[in-house]
A and B are shown apart, each in its own frame.
Chain A
């Protein structure tokens, strides 16, 4: 029974996500299209399971939601700061810098989420990983103190992600 469940739902969260996306796309609710969305959401993960053999580990939903809210708030605050930099700092005085972030995270999903967060919060763009995946290369638009920037990212985002992904 468990094996049948695993065969039918290789990624249960993906199935759930696809159903919700299908229902939102229809812009109206009826039982028929919800069932059709569920059928599609079962077929697609089944077909693509070969490309994604490992089942991702679990994560804590409550902490994930508070993390998402915190990132949304950070995006808004940082946007205002960067808009100010764009409008007020002349090119000659701009101090862009590369910073290297040593990663404590090991799960690929967690590192992807961290890199995405870094790019979405304005002023920083994640550029590359090292060969082993233990270092992250980040470009900063304007900074006086690159080390402080690195510590801020590590303590604010990475520490929280370590608690989210078990």
Chain B
């Protein structure tokens, strides 16, 4: 009986922590006014927010249900895919010049995302206004 009460408290705690971090992520998304700083908010929601909610689900199913560890898979896939989507959003920001220009490299080479064939670069200049 008592360990069910402890589990109940653990589930509630995880739910509250997850909800708080999700809320902070949403506030950050609204508050920041630059697209690069705005990118930092969803990476928080993706890690601790979702992680705590899934942990609550694991504990609940383990104690009161039949036991489920598929949540570990969700967590694993999120941790693998979140950096990739963030990376692509950052690259789009750099191309659209929606952020401060990244610093030049000391060796004089170019960042890989700007390394396009000459014709592609001409296309970019035409379609995207440089504001």
- Asked if A91 and B94 sit within 8 Å, CB to CB, the answer is no
Q: How far is the CB of A72 from chain B (nearest CB, A)?
A: 9
- Asked if A82 and B40 sit within 8 Å, CB to CB, the answer is yes
- Asked if A132 and B109 sit within 8 Å, CB to CB, the answer is yes
Complex interface residues of chain B between 39 and 92 (CB less than 8 A to chain A): 39-41, 43-44, 47-48, 68-70, 72-73, 79-80, 82-83, 86-87, 90-91
Q: How far is the CB of B28 from chain A (nearest CB, A)?
A: 4
Stretch from A47-55, A135-143, A152-160 that touches the partner: A135-143
**Is B19 in contact with chain A by the CB < 8 A criterion?**
no
Among A79, A91, A118, A134, max chain B CB count under 10 A is at A79
**Is A86 in contact with chain B by the CB < 8 A criterion?**
yes
**Is B113 in contact with chain A by the CB < 8 A criterion?**
yes
What CA separation (Å) do A127 and B90 show in the bound complex? 5
Q: How far is the CB of B124 from chain A (nearest CB, A)?
A: 16
Complex contacts, B7 vs chain A, CB 8 Å: none
Complex contacts, A139 vs chain B, CB 8 Å: 36, 39-40, 90, 99
Complex contacts, B34 vs chain A, CB 8 Å: 96
**Is A2 in contact with chain B by the CB < 8 A criterion?**
no
Complex contacts, A94 vs chain B, CB 8 Å: 32, 37
Which residue in chain B gives the minimum CB-CB distance to A137? B102
Which residue in chain A gives the minimum CB-CB distance to B20? A83
- Asked if B112 and A120 sit within 8 Å, CB to CB, the answer is no
What CA separation (Å) do A139 and B27 show in the bound complex? 20
- Asked if A130 and B40 sit within 8 Å, CB to CB, the answer is no
- Asked if A128 and B113 sit within 8 Å, CB to CB, the answer is yes
- Asked if B44 and A128 sit within 8 Å, CB to CB, the answer is no
What CA separation (Å) do A125 and B32 show in the bound complex? 15
Complex contacts, B113 vs chain A, CB 8 Å: 128
Complex contacts, A98 vs chain B, CB 8 Å: 100, 102-103
What CA separation (Å) do A59 and B24 show in the bound complex? 37
**Is B115 in contact with chain A by the CB < 8 A criterion?**
yes
Complex contacts, B24 vs chain A, CB 8 Å: 83, 86-87
- Asked if B111 and A131 sit within 8 Å, CB to CB, the answer is yes
Other contacts beyond A21-B73, A27-B69, A128-B113: 20, CB < 8 A: A27-B68, A83-B21, A83-B24, A94-B32, A115-B83, A119-B82, A119-B83, A119-B86, A123-B40, A125-B40, A128-B112, A130-B105, A130-B109, A130-B110, A130-B111, A131-B115, A132-B109, A135-B105, A139-B99, A141-B37
Kindly list the 4 A-B residue pairs having the minimum CB-CB distance in the complex, ordered from nearest.
A119-B83, A127-B90, A86-B28, A116-B83
